Structure 1
């Protein structure tokens, strides 16, 4: 059973690398203005799309805080893109679920449309301007598997 699991995980990691596709680019204001593509050439970028009304998003925020805390110094940048029409709707959510990572707002949905987001939350691991991993939804029971998969990409 363990052998099957390892083979399946290896295939998923390898398939993600083979099926890498260009990521849509968008401007970001961090410490200095940049773009997603420019940032992804310096390391990996985990982009997560979320909304204040999204139940599973409440559980993904501690996970993203962990990603930043444990993998940030290994080259991972975490960006959460809020898709609420009114960015003010995100404020109570962020008070209840603080973010130790960058929050970017997409009230018109242009970035979410460019990424063809199919559900909330949706996350993308981007490197060198290409999407190398995609995940729709969030389950706490799967978070260690996701963490390990992201860490494996960073180790390459």
Structure 2
């Protein structure tokens, strides 16, 4: 059966929303049920775009709510989510929110070129192709966003992005910021 051009374009757009970590891999579906990271403590380090090693999570981050977003410049839903995360970082940074983006692009120059016209108010780290963190942190598709409470525990995992997911993420952040610090 031949699809009309509009249907084919919509199908291609939907497929981009479930983009794999690297363009070469097939698009995986998230496994049924919750992520294996829920309720666990996440701590890792990765270089920022200047090459400096940055620690995320762990003892140094306790007392802050963290949003850690794994993304790539070629991922359309990631591009839609970054302005939302930028707004969250700007509005709630003084309330104890730390937003960190981890780019999975193979080429750092692609990340820099993407961010140049629209810089964000949060730190961007770089893990080429997700080689160091992808499997370790259960990143099965992009974007994957972890929401971490003040105790350092993963409370929510978002796979993919649309407006409804963005609203849900924002509500989760507000609720976690309202919880008392440990």
Is TM (by shorter chain) over 0.5? yes
After TM superposition, the score normalised by the length of structure 2 is 0.67
Unaligned runs of 5+ in 2: 1-33
Task: Determine helix, strand or coil for the equivalent of 2:114.
Answer: helix
1:37 Cα shift? 1.2
> Aligned residue for 2:158?
135
> Aligned residue for 2:119?
98
Unaligned runs of 5+ in 1: 1-14
What is the RMSD of the two structures over their aligned residues, measured on CA atoms?
Answer: 2.5
Q: 1:112 to 1:97 in 2, by over 3 A?
A: farther
1:95 Cα shift? 2.2
The structure where helix makes up a greater share of residues is 1
Corresponding residue pairs, total: 139
After TM superposition, the score normalised by the length of structure 1 is 0.77
Deviation beyond 6 Å, 4+ runs, structure 1: none
Q: 1:28 to 1:90 in 2, by over 3 A?
A: closer
Is the 1:122–1:135 Cα contact (8 Å) retained in structure 2?
A: yes
> Aligned residue for 1:145?
168
